[in-house]
Chain A
Amino acid sequence: MTDSPNEDGLPWGESPIDLADEASPTLQNGWRWTWGVLISSSLALALFNSHAIANWADQLPPNDLTAPIVMAADAWHDQAGRLGLNAMVDAVQRWADGARGEAPEEQ
């Protein structure tokens, strides 16, 4: 059995990201637009999700190199808590703990 090689790669429509041709020129180049999404979401997450930064830092192997990172991450988490930036995650977490029938976790 010998088939001819497919020169175009995956046939159109077989990927879930395949959409109809994007006629508008502003929609054609998505790189800059995607940068906007990634940068704005990364900054917003750093601001409002200090939980994730503190958790990540806590999992680093303890040594002289990582100690300042862990301290900075914990300090930022505390500061964000004082400024009320963690309020959204905390509120959802309390609600989820209640829904699971668990005692709320200490923040």
Chain B
Amino acid sequence: MLFPTLAFHIFFLAVFALNRLMARARDWRVIMLLLASWLFYGLWDARFVALLIASSAWNWGFARLISRATGHRLALLWLAILGNLGVLGGFKYAGFLADLAGMPLAQAIILPVGISFFTFQGLSYVIDVYNGRTRPARLLDLTLLMSFFPHLVAGPIVRPSHLLPQLRHPPRLGRQEAVACLILILWGTIKKAVIANDISVHLVDPVFSDPAGHSSMELVLAAYGYAVQIYCDFSAYTDMAIGLAGLLGFRFPRNFDQPYRSTSLQEFWRRWHISLSSWLRDYLYIGAFGGSRQALWRTCLALFGTMVLGGLWHGASWNFVIWGALHGGVLVAERLWKRARPSGWPPLPAWAGTVITFHIVALGWIFFRCSEFSGAVAFLQGMVAWRGSGAPLASAWVLALIVLGMACHFGPRHAVQRSAQALAILPGWAVGLIGTAVLLVVEGLRGGGMAPFIYFQF
């Protein structure tokens, strides 16, 4: 069940009504949200609901053991972590590892939707309980944290310490908050259904599937197009997730903050997929590798290793490793340059930093988009060969969508909040009709069909 569809609309109306009716029935409300989340997930593949429940029970059990144990707490933590990584590895990396060992699997393994997201939620819960950052939760609450449908399949990764306390209070929803949620859902629908979908169908997919058959200019445009597509696709999902959770009385963290206006790669990672980058920073870079309070070479190694593992989190492919290594390498170079830069040298203008950072990110997306290393190399060779052939594929419409997708990075940062404050003075029916008019325009603008969100595959 995809968010911007009629089936989800009906599903959400029912959940919204029940959530309001059960606002003060604490546990029954949690049970209702849990059942709704399992229904939502089960419509993809009912078999994996059991995996979701087993994963929640595993993490709940180990967190209880860790919180009560007087000794061997670290051993219990490692056992919990290995269980989580074992499940993730079994589904996600078994084929890749078997290929590396020269023993390809006879049958492809079906990847449960969102397994990387709910596994990371479980991992952060047991680690936080071990570190005393969160109290052990009830099985019911933890299962909802890991299964809650707005963020179940593609994030944002919500920390236990951020969501579990919200379950203890009756939900509240102010009118301005409600408008902010509705704007996020509408804006997400526009980004996904119009911008990302059209750029994908009319430029990115045909060019990436046959780089040799397109001119260098088209390859360059497709690379820019994919940078815009992946932003509009992924940020659309998390905008909608934040808006939907907000309407049910839950506050989710911001996950994107105009990432392509970053003036360095370090800044980019504070603005892109914030919930994953902060997870990697806290649990891997600092928690496992020691962070920046150590010798410079070890800090650089920690940074590089974190990004390579972050690449592998996306999937079992050399291209994801290269993508992570490119980001890790540039982050290390930025850190070293900060130290080595002569003090008399003028700083790089902000616009130049933005242009350079965007192009490094766009280069990385080429490896991210191509399934094979040879495909990415052919794409890059085609770009630098500067060949011209065939009729131009990119129409003025697609170019306008790329420009629109980039322009929203340079608009006012608090546009959603300001619009919410302005619209909240209108009666509900009037806002409903404005929203309907926008959705009708979206329905007319979008081409046929709706591709799944890119991050569903992770």
Contacts and interface: CB of A to CB of B under 8 A. Distances in A.
Interface of A: 1-10, 14-19, 22, 26-42, 44-45, 48-49, 51-53, 55-56, 88-93, 95-96, 99-101, 105
Contacts of A14: 253-254
A30 B174 contact: yes
Contact of B254 (A9, A16, A22): A16
12 contacts: A5-B134, A5-B161, A10-B162, A19-B420, A29-B174, A29-B175, A36-B431, A42-B13, A44-B433, A52-B6, A92-B441, A93-B443
A15 B162 CA distance: 11
Interface string B155-172: 000000111111000000
Interface of B: 5-7, 9, 13, 16, 20, 131-135, 161-166, 173-178, 180-182, 184, 198, 202, 239, 242-243, 246-247, 251-254, 395-398, 416-417, 420-421, 424, 427-429, 431-433, 435-437, 439-441, 443-448
A62 B416 CA distance: 42
Contacts of B439: 41, 45, 49
Contacts of A45: 9, 436, 439-440
Contacts of B20: 31, 35
A2 B73 CA distance: 14
Nearest to B414: A16
B184 A17 contact: yes
Nearest to A12: B251
A46 B440 CA distance: 11
A35 B428 contact: yes
A15 B246 CA distance: 9
The 10 closest A-B pairs by CB, nearest first: A36-B428, A92-B444, A40-B432, A41-B432, A30-B178, A9-B165, A44-B436, A30-B175, A10-B162, A56-B6
A17 B251 contact: yes
A30 B13 contact: no
Given A8-B165, A17-B243, A99 B395 contact: yes
A4 B134 CA distance: 8
A42 B131 CA distance: 47
B132 A92 contact: no
Contact of B131 (A2, A7, A28): A2
A24 to B, nearest CB: 9
Contacts of B416: 16
A102 B182 CA distance: 32
Contacts of A91: 444
Most chain B beta-carbon neighbours within 10 Å: one of A41, A55, A89, A105: A41
Contacts of B162: 6, 9-10
Contacts of B435: 37, 41
A17 B180 contact: yes
A8 to B, nearest CB: 6
Nearest to B162: A10
B175 A33 contact: yes
Nearest to A36: B428
A3 B133 CA distance: 5
B50 to A, nearest CB: 23
A41 B416 CA distance: 20
Contacts of B432: 36-41, 44
Contact of A40 (B242, B395, B433): B433
Most chain B beta-carbon neighbours within 10 Å: one of A22, A28, A33: A33
Given A9-B161, A14-B253, A35-B20, 18 more contacts: A3-B133, A8-B165, A9-B163, A15-B242, A17-B177, A17-B181, A19-B176, A19-B421, A22-B174, A36-B428, A37-B435, A39-B432, A41-B435, A41-B436, A56-B5, A56-B6, A96-B446, A100-B202
Contacts of A40: 428-429, 432-433, 436
Nearest to A53: B6
Given A15-B242, A88-B444, A3 B131 contact: yes
B444 A5 contact: no
